[in-house]
Amino acid sequence: KYGPQVQAVLRKAANLEIKYVCPLHSFVWRRGFGDFLEKYMLWSSYEPEVDGVLIAYASVYGHTENTANILASKLSDRGVKVKMYDTSVTPASYILSDAFKYSHLVFASTTYNAGIFVTMENLLNDIVNHGLRNRKIALIENGSWGPTSGTLMREKLSSLKNTEFMGDLLTIPSALKSSQIGEVDALADIIAADFAPEFTVPDTAEKEIIADVNPDAKGDIDLASLFKLSYGVYILTTRYDGKDYGCIINTAGQITSGDPPKMTISVIKQNFTCDKVMKAGAFNVTVLTESTPYDTFKHFGFQSGRDVDKFEGLKENLRTENGIRYFTENANAVYSCKVIDSRDCGTQMLYIADITEAKTLSDEPSATYSYYHAHIKPKKKPEMPKTEGWICTVCGYFHEGPELPADFICPLCKQGADVFEHYLPPKTERKKGFLCNICSHFEEGDKLPDGYLCPVCNHGPSDFVPHEMDVVVE
């Protein structure tokens, strides 16, 4: 019901550098904004959080409950995630919350006074009043001589936008008969078809046994599989000719524990800092933690030292014994290193170094590459409405349609038609291309050019995935 207004607020917030979130009735948030903003994105756009089935049932003598349990068991046997509620036991508000969460809904109700059982009717009224949409729904009714609950439930739920009803209405004549098990199976098959995992039959054909290893043999390379490797996120710093340099890297690791211990780092050659490490012969690696804000990654990762001084105006000016900068805020360790060898690996430069100094800065968990993508990197911005309409400038309510009646009153803030602005969706075309996993830059085209580097973060093709998106056209 309030989704468009929330989307309007989120569109404004998407362009802000949020430092604090101060709810009226909760804690003050200083980080992790992306996690709960993503939730509001899903809730306000009525997109499900979970691919699974919510089953809510209203039973009098237990037969409707039994049917719901049988369906749940059959769905579970088919690998579908299922959650169940008895509407006579659990308050509607709890079930409503999960109705927003789950992608598929099943409602099973006995007929009561020629209508829907009261607790189920209360739940459905709540769902309709909240304007839930974009769901697939299946219905089960029970009635010994005049079942009507199924038809009435469908009438209520038909008002929900983008609602699809799955299968035929399953009618139970008081108790489920053994002859109806096939109908339950059929309904389970229809629902489970949406969850069937992609499965590739393994190649079991016998292959010719190769006597010796062939280092030059080549097979298919799934670039997405490389993201299964464990990476961290670090600030690499160095100093050359009286000036400090720094960038974000995701590959660093200890390779020996001797005296001194040794480590390696990999740096994109296009990064200005890479060349300075080579010339200085020394560097520091600061290990970033899970509390690191996105601003840090933008500051050190999405701009070049060729254009800006990344250290100008920074509060911290700490240096290790080698004279190179490091950071303690949102960090748990720092390593000072002396380069002893290097290897040109095409797009990257690999440095091997002796660790000359190491400090533990905090006990906060290190941020991994996966954690950065899941919790630090901002989620996509809310889309503008795709249909013509009128937007209330007071509360953000969106009235769909080309015309707004002169006597129209906003159903939320009660303002008149004079505070509404006409909205025409921008013309867009669906484009194919590649999306950068690091900074979300979209590069249009069927193929990335050889030697391509992201113009924002300098990462190569291995950090891009095929993607389609709507692009605004003139």
Dihedral, 37, 39, 43, 48 alpha carbons, nearest 10: 140
Cα–Cα nearest to 383, from 146, 87, 37, 45? 45
pLDDT band at 377 (very low <50, low <70, confident <90, very high): confident
Average pLDDT score over residue span 274-298 = 95
Task: Tell me the per-residue pLDDT of 244-257, one tens digit each, with 9 for 90 and over.
Answer: 999 999 999 999 98
Average pLDDT score over residue span 22-34 = 82
Average pLDDT score over residue span 61-81 = 95
Question: Which residues are registered as beta bridge partners of 36?
Answer: none
Percent of the chain with pLDDT over 90: 58
Residue with tokens 């199976």: 185
Q: What is the pLDDT of residue 29?
A: 85
Cα–Cα nearest to 355, from 464, 253, 467? 253
Average pLDDT score over residue span 267-272 = 92
Query: How much is the mean pLDDT over the chain?
Result: 89
Question: Which residues are registered as beta bridge partners of 470?
Answer: 430
228-371 CATH choice from 1.20.1250.20, 2.40.50.100, 2.30.110.10, 3.40.50.720: 2.30.110.10
Q: What is the pLDDT of residue 209?
A: 60
Rounded CA Rg of the chain: 29
Most confident listed range (27-36, 276-285, 365-374) = 276-285
Average pLDDT score over residue span 228-233 = 86
Q: What is the pLDDT of residue 199?
A: 43
Name which residue leads in pLDDT, 143 or 238.
Answer: 238
- With vertex at residue 39, the alpha carbon angle to CA 38 and CA 45, rounded to the nearest 5 degrees, is 90
Contacts of 436 by beta carbon, 8 Å cutoff, 6+ apart: 442, 443, 454, 456, 457, 459, 463, 464
Name which residue leads in pLDDT, 344 or 13.
Answer: 344
pLDDT band at 396 (very low <50, low <70, confident <90, very high): confident
Pairing of strands 398-400, 82-86: unpaired
> Does 165 have pLDDT greater than 80?
yes
Average pLDDT score over residue span 355-363 = 96
Task: Tell me the per-residue pLDDT of 202-230, one tens digit each, with 9 for 90 and over.
Answer: 565 665 665 677 788 888 877 777 777 78
Architecture of domain 46-195: 3-Layer(aba) Sandwich (3.40)
> Does 466 have pLDDT greater than 70?
yes
